[in-house]
Chains A and B, each alone.
Chain A
Amino acid sequence: MRTDLKIIEQWISAGSHVLDLGCGDGTLLDYLQREKQATGFGLEINPDHITTCMGRGVSVIEQNLDTQGLGNFEDHTFDTVLMTQALQAVRRPDVVLDEMLRVGREGIVTFPNFAYWRLRWYLMRRGRMPESETLPYKWYNTPNIHLCTFKDFEALCYRKSFRILNRTVVDGEHQDRWLSRLWPNMLGQIAIYRITREES
């Protein structure tokens, strides 16, 4: 079990109805179905991932967030809408976040922090777009078209009046380190946010 999925699992209550945007091979949903009696769907566009999901009994819908959106889901359908490592790859992250919190009560989002010190150092030293283990692409072929920092994300949440219920900052191996807690926007590599539109 990937560590980020372990962290996410804690934020999902038993019997939840969940939607996983970009559900990959269905590992998380499969786990949530078995361990948390969760129900729900994954959306995916990768054909091999879709086949794997179907083979393991995860309900998966072939649907492209960028072109089809979430218009086919009614308001407040899900307890939690998940999106792991895909926010930076969609065409309009702000719209997707809005949609997540329209169809679901809570959203869980993970994304890489572009202000991580190694990336800052890369850019400063070489003057070129950073590449790393988490971001192993060239600027021209990267699927990550909307990279942001933790601060950027939180500013967007503030603007949209989303409430951040939890935030866990981890390193590339999804380990929670004291250093990244100390100075997340500099030392954290990946963040896992739990957000809602509801008032406290």
Chain B
Amino acid sequence: MPDPLPTDSVGIVTPQTLHFDTPITLACDQTLESYDLVIETYGKLNANASNAVLICHALSGHHHAAGYHSEEDRKPGWWDSCIGPGKPIDTNRFFVVSLNNLGGCHGSTGPCSNNPQTGQPYGPDFPVITVRDWVHSQALLADRLGIDCWAAVVGGSLGGMQALQWSLDYPDRIRHAVVIASTPRLSAQNIAFNEVARQAITSDREFHDGRYFEHNTLPRRGLMLARMVGHITYLSDASMGEKFGRELRDQAYKFGYDAEFQVESYLRYQGERFSESFDANTYLLMTRALDYFDPAYEHDNDLAKALLHASCEFLVLSFSTDWRFTPARSQELVDAMISARRKVSYAEIDAPWGHDAFLIPTPRYTAIFEAYMDRVAREVGA
């Protein structure tokens, strides 16, 4: 944590674990008898509970979106650039709720949690969770927190899909959906990348059909490869070129196959670090949730028809160099919203960082986000 603490930081935050005893039935028809959700909140809920904003995380995200857990913490939460006093999601005005989704590996019930029926970790027996299940559990979380209607549900990438799903499943409980760097459904190429990641994990000898805990091991190698391939899709050719180019770790070629280029050692480092901190079964689950997301599917593949269920206003943002979920995918979503006569604003932000750009503040991104959220705040009296 920097000293002194910047005035636009939420400071030290403490996660809470909320236990839910009412069974929840999932899209796969399985039921979780009880479960935990780990959350963090920033700011204060106002008297009529109109100023609540839900943050939905992406594939490898979690509840720790802003601030620091301790003074020793080196890095703030994953979206600290956008959440805090005076930041686009202004904690002086909004009550911000951020959670770790079901199936996650940061404290909410997931494959690493103990299955109450066996006393052992669920591992591969943990049910496959969908975006709709997440939104359902988030609605139950809102009930618990006394929030009838979110001022906004905000998310990037997979988080944006949750915001979109909220607008369809609970139209009366959401005023604004902010869908950033997202897509109404994965393309074949997107699914293909996910499949490579899953194959990397499941073909690791240490995976043991997902029961690695029972074998006192972890499929580190597989998870590392999955992360490496994922990471490439989060960056752009230009940003990788800028960061690493063809730079070598040493002066000359060694005519071998060790990590000689800087980009190789960077990817290996990122992959290794991730493989120590993330659960392989959760990674499989999250990528599957991505694959399955397709709100148009139940409406004759007509997204506009699906959107007729929504009544909130939308802000859709894309980034010029994002090739994972390209601006064209966001435009597809916007076109369906226009066709369904929903209120929507859209901008394509010029940024060189590929898909990751949604995590990186740039003047235009910040200005738009700030202007939109300021208007949301005024609308709800925050």
Contacts and interface: CB of A to CB of B under 8 A. Distances in A.
B267 interface: no
A54 B315 contact: yes
A62 B367 contact: no
A81 interface: no
Interface residues of B, number: 22
A147 to B, nearest CB: 30
A105 interface: no
A72 B331 contact: yes
A41 B367 contact: no
Contacts of A55: 371-372, 374-375
A72 B345 contact: no
A39 B371 contact: no
Interface string B370-382: 0110110001000
A17 interface: yes
Interface residues of A, number: 22
A192 B371 CA distance: 32
B83 interface: no
B364 A47 contact: yes
A39 B364 contact: no
B334 A54 contact: no
Contacts of A73: 338
A97 B281 CA distance: 56
B90 to A, nearest CB: 14
Interface in A32-63: 39, 41, 47, 50-63
B341 interface: yes
Nearest to B304: A74
Contacts of A60: 345-347
B294 interface: no
B341 A17 contact: yes
A116 to B, nearest CB: 36
B335 interface: yes
Contacts of A74: 339
Given A61-B338, A73-B338, A56 B375 contact: yes
Given A60-B345, A61-B346, A72-B331, A54 B368 contact: yes
A77 B340 CA distance: 10
Contact of A62 (B341, B343, B348, B375): B348
A55 B364 CA distance: 13
Instruction: Label chain B's interface by main secondary structure.
Output: helix
A50 B368 contact: yes
Contact of A41 (B315, B338, B364): B338
A51 B371 contact: yes
Nearest to A19: B338
B304 to A, nearest CB: 9
Interface string B323-346: 000000001001100110101111
Contacts of B374: 55
Nearest to A57: B375
A54 B345 contact: yes
A60 B371 CA distance: 13
A50 B347 contact: yes
B343 to A, nearest CB: 5
Contacts of B371: 51-52, 54-55
Contacts of B341: 17, 39
Contacts of B313: 59
Nearest to A50: B347
Contact of B347 (A17, A41, A58, A62): A62
B372 A62 contact: no
A59 B375 contact: no
19 contacts: A39-B341, A41-B338, A41-B344, A50-B368, A51-B364, A53-B345, A54-B315, A54-B368, A54-B371, A54-B375, A57-B379, A59-B313, A59-B344, A60-B345, A60-B346, A61-B338, A63-B346, A72-B335, A73-B338
Interface of A: 17, 39, 41, 47, 50-63, 72-74, 77
Given A60-B345, A62-B347, A63-B346, 18 more contacts: A39-B343, A47-B347, A50-B347, A50-B368, A51-B367, A51-B371, A54-B315, A54-B375, A58-B345, A60-B347, A61-B334, A61-B338, A61-B346, A62-B346, A62-B348, A72-B335, A74-B339, A77-B338
Interface of B: 313, 315, 331, 334-335, 338-339, 341, 343-348, 364, 367-368, 371-372, 374-375, 379
* The 5 A-B residue pairs with the shortest CB-CB distance in the complex, in nearest-first order: A55-B371, A72-B335, A62-B347, A54-B372, A61-B346
